[in-house]
Amino acid sequence: MTSETRESLPITEQENSRTANLSSLSVTEILRLMNEEDALVAAAITKVLPQVEQAVAGIVERMHEGGRLFYIGTGTSGRLGILDAAECPPTFGVSPDLFQGVIAGGYEACYRAVEASEDDGRAAQRDLEARGFGKDDVLVGIAASGQTPYTIGAVTYARSLGAFTIAVTCAPDSPITQVAEVSIVPVVGPEVVTGSTRLKAGTGQKMVLNMLSTATLVRLGYVSGNRMSNLQARNSKLRARAVRILMAETDLDEKAAAAALNAASGDIRIALVMTRTGSSATAASEALAESKGVVTQAIKELTP
């Protein structure tokens, strides 16, 4: 391959000169080299924080008006979007509808490669229409190379509706950056295994998605300090965490906090509002419904 040909490839597809002898290395050397390459990812994210901030501001604005966020992508990128969306309800107590993940090829592509589906640019519009995607929503198109027809088609369609569009890619000046309103482009460099974007590119994308969802939901009021005040305590580990949060937020001892959680039928949001305002579980539930689950706002509504 000539140097001219190499330079015409997206950076995510170029060969990494540092790992050219990967197959002849010992396990220790492979691991050390991978670790060194992964260390480059955080530095790349640092350089795109202004774009991440711009994206979060737009997401918060849309969600204040009732909009939702949709991640969309193919292969690893699509799976990362589904993962981040799936983690939002248990962590922040929000509806599963608020953050949604869409992947080319449908549910099967979550656990089995359906790579050919990424070439169908029109399929993305159909997939979004099936979810009721509209102009008030946000679309985050995730594509490591920035060239995926399915994801580019999704962003193009979403922007035509007037929706807020964000691209997350690791390839600067790639086609998806030309169609998105905000482009977040951490340049992590060529992969340890040439073209295997589940590695550094995947790590970089996951870090960006973590920031988008977490910063958005913190700004919307679903975290108190650094505590999961809207945690869904659906197993023993999470119930124990909920009790600890109640203790920290209300100065109750462990026994009293556990009793408060029981009185709220295991819902930490209701327990926090009841404890802080002296209200009944019914009143706390109604206030939380009015505040869209934001505990601090529900407490304000019930405080004389």
- The end-to-end CA distance of the chain, in Å, is 74
Q: Is-catalytic flag, 36? A: no
Q: Which residue in the list 4, 13, 29, 87 is annotated as catalytic? A: 87
292's tokens: 């869209």
206's tokens: 């996951």
Q: Which residue in the list 37, 118, 191, 249 is annotated as catalytic? A: 118
What one-character DSSP code corresponds to residue 37? H
Spatial contact of 69 and 96, defined as CB atoms under 8 Å apart: no
Spatial contact of 73 and 103, defined as CB atoms under 8 Å apart: yes
Residue closest to 66 by CA, chosen among 153, 151, 134, 161: 134
Measured CA distances, 164 to 57, 70, 217, 292 (Å): 11, 10, 17, 22
Residue 273: other Cβ atoms inside 10 A? 30
| Rounded CA separation 21/278 (Å) | 67
Which residues lie across from 224 on neighbouring strands?
Answer: 227
Q: What is the dihedral of CA 281, 282, 285, 291, to 10 degrees?
A: -120
Cite the beta strand spans of 169-240 per DSSP E.
Answer: 182-184
Contacts of 54 by beta carbon, 8 Å cutoff, 6+ apart? 182
Q: Is-catalytic flag, 118? A: yes
Spatial contact of 148 and 173, defined as CB atoms under 8 Å apart: no
- Active-site residue set: 87, 118
